[in-house]
Structure 1
């Protein structure tokens, strides 16, 4: 992949000459990540397509409500340790402090296992209450209990994926989280989805989580032969000092992402949930490049901040934002020009979600244009500022969804979600400028 990137840049010498060594590392890593992310996104899209055509909008609504509950439980299971592991692995590996890398890994995994196990038990025990009292859909109890099986393995999938990013093993990271889960899930869904309905789809997702978590352990051990010769040492207090703000960031970000689904589950129909969920996941393709670039830019941010190379940090952040905006623009245009056609691929019930796709895609595009501001704050030790931002936006999200979903249904859910996505990154952009004197958005920046 590096040779391909080098060949392309050699065709444009004026562009090549403006790229420094840090940006070149980001481009090479992002190119690998983008290929795997596109593969993973394609597999996820196929999974959703098969799910929608097999279960219909109503069945898909059941699946996504169960997935929502499990996603919340997984956030509690991770305790913010995924991004903490990324930060400390990247920073300490950059200075060859393998004792600290192993210490953070071992303690992080132990804490995550305890927390995710407790989350699994909580979902299993309270599934009937959630199904009956919260969603007024008693039939959701059994699917939620089956889905709880995925909490522990998905927690380990995410922690190992972020740890591998910290080691700059981008390919392995995306194989674990981006490709492994949807590839296995799709295979199992094709085998059992039609026969077992919603439960079959949930078994598919849980199978993907279990087998991929084992793959994550294997790839981590292959990537870290140096850790076998050292005893890990890391202060638990330092781990919690970083992970607790990140836990709240993850929890409240999840609230922003899933509040609309919850609101539609309470005040809408199962069909509404299914249509909105498909539109939301399709709109996330707009920010596909953002997650690909973040995979390599996040450890690079941690490394540059650790070495106090702030000028290089700012240049890298701006250049990645510019790159992401250029690449994401054509997909946004497709979602604005032909949204009904895109949604129609999921089945005859889904084209009505075309306007939702357009609204949500705009919100995702704002995230792309503003750049990796969240990771800039987290990797520079400003987790609390990012936490405070998400606290404010999550409160606004709940308020907007209660008002807009009750009044306008699906359209209200899309407007509330897109507004909060945009607001979060705009506020974070301002904080990055105030704290680090870095302007990530390249549109108004002059060197």
Structure 2
């Protein structure tokens, strides 16, 4: 036994010695990120579990519809600035250009605050129209209006998390966007005890968003104290040049991700929305390793591309794709073998969603196996290629949902979600190879 342990340790040591400094940084950062991502996913799972047990499938369906509208509003509130701030903060911090970092920060946050405030007002004003005429669920008015309070803080905390990531403060970034909201929301939901129904769940989420946004402000001020004494220097046109294509990327990604929920809200039942929502959030555990690695690989990609070190960029991209595929495989197998058991944890009425979980997990696994191809395009200044890819996928998503959801309900929705997700990442992998000469996965047919 002792010899076996020594052999394993020696193999890990040999593997570590073969990795370059960039990959070691990614692995070390990803390890921290994975721990916090697992914590955040666990808290989110507990929140969804308490939500499902308290509200049932129909109540959960109303909550997810309100959350969908809020999520869409935050996309408009961010204006595509999240990835822009990440890219420019990471690139300029790597060469100690702190005037540019502050310029990006000040101008980006001002734009986002104005846009997210307008989005929140729009949600509040148009809620009766959405609830009565679009979803035909009048009981959605009050939860959706309360949920509009979360638009500005969610927008702000996402941007603070991305900027912290750009400074390679991975722990702080994930505390803000990953752990904070589910932790505070779960605590608030448990305190409310389900006495206020769907409205209470919305209150819990909104309060979690506000507290986490305040945490983001605090951690950013601690991470970048030198910015207080520096004058700003950054051209607004340069910021908007990158943010506008990325705004369309974020908007169309949102459209692809949430079209199924919207379609089920129109053509399906509240129970369909609830079961689909739980299956979708559970399947995302498959891509947990991807988001963990992206936390450190995205700023690393921006740094290496800024320094024109394409050899290191390609090696880092390939090795991270292999690592993520290896780690995600066991969870995919579980979701394929015992999906009903996972869905049954939310209650008996959710158990029928086992097949939904399996299909969605396959789509998420393709997302993981192709590697961080989306970030490779964005961090290398190829956001327009990414935008064109997402436009094509959004059209596929809409067509599939319109055709399948009225006929097959939640089953049609998961097919219309998983297929576009897989195709989008396969196309992005091709574009990375075409533009950057990097092949992230060996099994793809191109050179």
TM-score range with shorter-chain normalisation? over 0.9
- Aligned partner of residue 329 in structure 1, secondary structure: helix
How many angstroms apart in 2 are the aligned matches of 1:32 and 1:347?
33
Q: How far 1:11 sits from its partner (Å)?
A: 5.2
Deviations 1:130-181 (A, max 9, x none): 0001001111111110000000000011000000000000000000111010
**For residue 400 of structure 1, what is the aligned residue in structure 2?**
400
TM-superposition CA deviations, 1:370-417 (whole Å, max 9, x none): 000000000000000000100000011000000011111111111110
- 1:203 CA drift (Å): 0.4
Which whole-Å CA distance do the structure 2 matches of 1:53 and 1:379 have between them? 41
**2:293 counterpart residue number:** 293
Q: 1:85-104 maps to which residues of 2 (within 5 A)?
A: 85-104=85-104
Q: Map 1:81-120 to 2 at 5 A.
A: 81-120=81-120
Supply the distance in 1 between the matched residues of 2:260 and 2:356 (Cα, whole angstroms).
Answer: 12
Counterpart for residue 275 of structure 2: 275
Runs of 4+ in 1 over 6 A off after TM superposition: none
Structure 1 residue 9: Cα displacement: 6.7
CA distance in 2, matches of 1:317, 1:11: 22
Alpha-carbon separation, structure 2, partners of 1:158 and 1:16: 33
Q: In the TM superposition, what is the alpha-carbon distance from 1:442 to its structure 2 partner?
A: 4.0
Residues 146-161 of structure 1 aligned to structure 2 (within 5 Å): 146-161=146-161
Matching residue of 1:347: 347
Report the equivalent of 1:195. Answer: 195
Structure 1, 284-293 or 13-22: larger mean CA deviation: 13-22
Distance 2:12 2:312 in 1: 22
1:316 corresponds in structure 2 to: 316
Equivalent pair of 1:321/1:371 in contact (CA under 8 Å): yes
Instruction: Let me know the Cα RMSD of the aligned residues.
Output: 1.5
Gap runs ≥5 in structure 2? 1-7
Deviation readout 1:339-395 (Å, 9 max, x if unpaired): 000000000100100000000000000000000000000000000000010000001
SS, match of residue 342 in structure 1: helix
- The TM-score normalised by the length of structure 1 is 0.97
State the SS of the aligned residue for 2:440. Answer: coil
- Indicate if the aligned counterparts of 1:185 and 1:207 stay in contact, CA closer than 8 A: yes
Cα distance in 1 between the residues matched to 2:388 and 2:51? 37
Counterparts of residues 359-438 of structure 1 (less than 5 Å): 359-438=359-438
- Farther-moved stretch of structure 1 (219-228 vs 278-287): 219-228
Q: Spell out, residue by residue over 1:403-439, the C-alpha distance to the aligned partner (whole angstroms, 9 max, x if none).
A: 0111111111111100000011011111111100100
Q: How many pairs were matched up?
A: 441
C-alpha spacing 1:9/1:308, structure 2 compared with 1 (3 Å): farther
Distance 1:226 1:27 in 2: 29
Name the SS of the counterpart of 1:195 in structure 2.
coil
Distance of 2:354 and 2:337 partners within structure 1: 10
The question of whether the paired residues in 2 share the 8 Å contact of 1:120 and 1:149 is answered with: yes
Contact 1:10-1:16 at 8 Å conserved across structures: no
> What secondary structure is seen at the aligned counterpart in 1 of 2:346?
coil
Any idea what SS the aligned residue of 1:168 has? coil
Alpha-carbon distance in 1 for matches of 2:25, 2:441:
20
Distance 1:177 1:71 in 2: 14
The CA deviation string for residues 256-288 of structure 1, in whole angstroms up to 9 with x for no partner, is 110100111000000000000000000000000
Instruction: Please name the residue that 1:21 is paired with.
Output: 21
Secondary structure in structure 1 of the residue aligned to 2:195: helix
Residue ranges of structure 1 left out of the alignment (5+ in a row): 1-7
Name the counterpart of 1:224: 224
For 2:5, the equivalent position in structure 1 comes to none
TM-score for both structures, normalised by structure 2: 0.97
Which secondary structure does the structure 2 equivalent of 1:188 belong to?
A: helix
**1:142: which partner in 2?**
142
CA apart distance, 1:13 = 3.0
Counterpart of 1:4? none
Deviation for aligned residue 1:17: 2.5
State the partner residue of 1:183.
183
Q: Contact between 1:319 and 1:442, CA under 8 Å: does it hold in 2?
A: no
Identify the residue that residue 3 of structure 1 maps to in structure 2.
none
User: Contact 2:147–2:203 (CA<8 Å) still a contact in 1?
Assistant: yes
Contact 1:58/1:270 (<8 A) preserved: yes
Q: Verify the 8 A CA contact 1:9 1:15 in the aligned structure 2.
A: no
* Cα distance in 2 between the residues matched to 1:212 and 1:122: 23
Find the aligned partners of 1:238 and 1:193 in 2 and give their Cα distance. 49
Q: CA deviation at 1:41?
A: 0.3
